[in-house]
Structure 1
Amino acid sequence: MSALDSLDPRTALVVFSGGQDSTVCLAWALSRYTHVETIGFDYGQRHRVELHCRSRVRSELSKAFPAWGERLGNDHLLDLRLLGQISDTALTETRAIEMAANGLPNTFVPGRNLIFLNFAAALAYRRGASVLVGGMCETDFSGYPDCRDNTLKALQVALSLGLDAPMTVETPLMWLTKAQTWALSDSLGGERLNAIITEHTHTCYLGDRLVRHAWGYGCGQCPACELRRDGHEQWLAARQAAQPAN
């Protein structure tokens, strides 16, 4: 049996921002499906530098992993700046990141993932894709309700009913810590994949790419940077502890 015979024959559409989590999800999908496309959204995000990282990450993945490159199809970038216009958040405006009165950080963009997946499903339907892949996570997250497993399961049902066609929503990072996400990318593509993630992805909420840390570029102080840094340190420590003593 060839490697292609072991792949899922369905087409997957990955919600791809250009950040660490969505890049790991893209690698995960490329290791499983015969054809994979990507979709991104310009919603007026403060860290829109991530949009410029998307094409570079795709290119680097294709060069480093030719078999994945053969399965990587079209990229789609949609203009959803209306979402930014109706939002009042620290991700769409220049303001301090802090907790809001409702107990959620003011980086929460209401309805963002719901809107993303609805548009992704509409595009997937037209493109003949029946799997949506997203980096939503309920383990290392900021309490965003549209990242929760129950939300995504309910949305999967609604999308399938509304399209009258099966639409699977895959969230491979749902129960992983950030350290486990680093470990997953290592298992998928080893040092080559983690080097691409470190050098070319963007996760910092402030859009800062001036300083290159061991875990990647970022301000080093926003919640996204802290989570990425701590996860990287924990992954390295766990990997070191697992190595046999000389």
Structure 2
Amino acid sequence: MTRIDAKDSALVLFSGGQDSATCLAWALERYKTVETLGFDYGQRHRVELECRDGFRAAIASAFPQWAERLGEDHMIDLSILGAISDTAMTREIEIQNTASGLPNTFVPGRNLLFMTIAAAVAYRRGLKVLVGGMCETDFSGYPDCRDDTMKALQVALNLGMETRYALETPLMWLDKADTWRLAETLGGEALVELIRVETHTCYVGERAELHDWGFGCGQCPACKLRKRGYEAYRAGEQVTTAPV
């Protein structure tokens, strides 16, 4: 297997959703070689995985300067995570808050496992930068999306693998309106439209109706965040962070 120059290359955790698609564009603007990594963990909204190839092809076609930087895609079967998780992301159950205060869409250990496997793939591929769309500004309270978690994980991975990974989270302090703005900064209206139409966010996997802000049911927490952020972005406003 061909190894990549680690000094100017990255591995992006790319689910097929808005945030990871924006992170992919962010990485393509910065690194000479960018590979992508997706996970099939039995997610209820696995339609997002079907969006991955389409978005990769679309962004390469629309942005030739990025096409030559877009490297291999890797897909990992993590069905074991879905098997051990009793959540609304992996079961056909109503989305609601739990006694702990967290929504039942929280999949315990998901991002920890994702980053650990990403580091293992990066080790094999000779990559040093891991890019994820974690954010603690507009989010549902997931503890594994927090900046402190990512910083601690970076230390643990570097110690455990005897290497120097950099975990980049370009959306960490952005609200959803800012995430749309970042996409516009990176690729103009063309990238905004690609993300609007070609990515998927809805937790229940609804992809029958295209709204102004993209496909989705419009009622789940993910759709509400995306809709609110898009409307604020178009209005030129900041999003007031509040529970959804």
Q: TM-score, normalised by structure 1?
A: 0.93
Q: Structure 1 residue aligned with 2:113, among 109, 112, 115?
A: 115
The CA distance in 1 between the partners of 2:226 and 2:141, in whole Å, is 16
3-state SS of the aligned residue for 1:75? Answer: strand
3-state SS of the aligned residue for 1:60? Answer: helix
In the alignment, does 2:244 pair up with 1:213? no
The CA distance in 2 between the partners of 1:210 and 1:169, in whole Å, is 35
In the alignment, does 2:26 pair up with 1:31? no
Deviation at residue 9 of structure 1 after TM alignment? 4.1
3-state SS of the aligned residue for 1:12? Answer: strand
Specify every segment of 5 or more residues in structure 1 that has no aligned partner in the other structure, as ranges. 1-7, 240-246
- Whether the aligned pair in 2 keeps the contact of 1:61 and 1:69 (CA below 8 Å) is yes
- Whether the aligned pair in 1 keeps the contact of 2:201 and 2:223 (CA below 8 Å) is yes
Q: Residue 67 of structure 1 corresponds to which residue in structure 2?
A: 65
> How do residues 226-245 of structure 1 correspond to structure 2 at under 5 angstroms?
226-238=224-236
3-state SS of the aligned residue for 2:8? Answer: strand
- What amino acid sits opposite 1:205 in the alignment? Y
Q: Residue 243 of structure 1 corresponds to which residue in structure 2?
A: none
The CA distance in 1 between the partners of 2:156 and 2:187, in whole Å, is 34
The CA distance in 2 between the partners of 1:10 and 1:36, in whole Å, is 9
Q: Residue 158 of structure 2 corresponds to which residue in structure 1?
A: 160
Q: Residue 4 of structure 1 corresponds to which residue in structure 2?
A: none
3-state SS of the aligned residue for 2:98? Answer: coil
3-state SS of the aligned residue for 2:76? Answer: strand
Q: How many residues are treated as equivalent by the alignment?
A: 232
Deviation at residue 131 of structure 1 after TM alignment? 0.4
Runs of 4+ in structure 1 displaced over 6 angstroms? Answer: none
- What amino acid sits opposite 1:162 in the alignment? G
- What amino acid sits opposite 2:142 in the alignment? Y
Specify every segment of 5 or more residues in structure 2 that has no aligned partner in the other structure, as ranges. 1-5, 238-244
The CA distance in 1 between the partners of 2:70 and 2:156, in whole Å, is 28
> How do residues 134-173 of structure 1 correspond to structure 2 at under 5 angstroms?
134-173=132-171
The CA distance in 2 between the partners of 1:9 and 1:60, in whole Å, is 27
Q: TM-score, normalised by structure 2?
A: 0.94
The CA distance in 2 between the partners of 1:192 and 1:125, in whole Å, is 34
Q: Structure 2 residue aligned with 1:47, among 37, 45, 48?
A: 45
Q: Residue 91 of structure 2 corresponds to which residue in structure 1?
A: 93
In the alignment, does 2:23 pair up with 1:15? no
In the alignment, does 2:128 pair up with 1:130? yes
3-state SS of the aligned residue for 2:189? Answer: helix
The CA distance in 1 between the partners of 2:133 and 2:39, in whole Å, is 14
- What amino acid sits opposite 2:171 in the alignment? L
The CA distance in 2 between the partners of 1:209 and 1:58, in whole Å, is 19
- What amino acid sits opposite 2:193 in the alignment? A
Q: Structure 1 residue aligned with 2:223, among 200, 225, 242?
A: 225
1:118-141 per-residue CA deviation (whole Å, 9 max, x = no partner) reads: 000000000010000000000000
RMSD: 0.9
Aligned-pair identity in percent equals 64
The CA distance in 2 between the partners of 1:10 and 1:80, in whole Å, is 28
- Whether the aligned pair in 1 keeps the contact of 2:7 and 2:128 (CA below 8 Å) is no
Deviation at residue 11 of structure 1 after TM alignment? 1.3
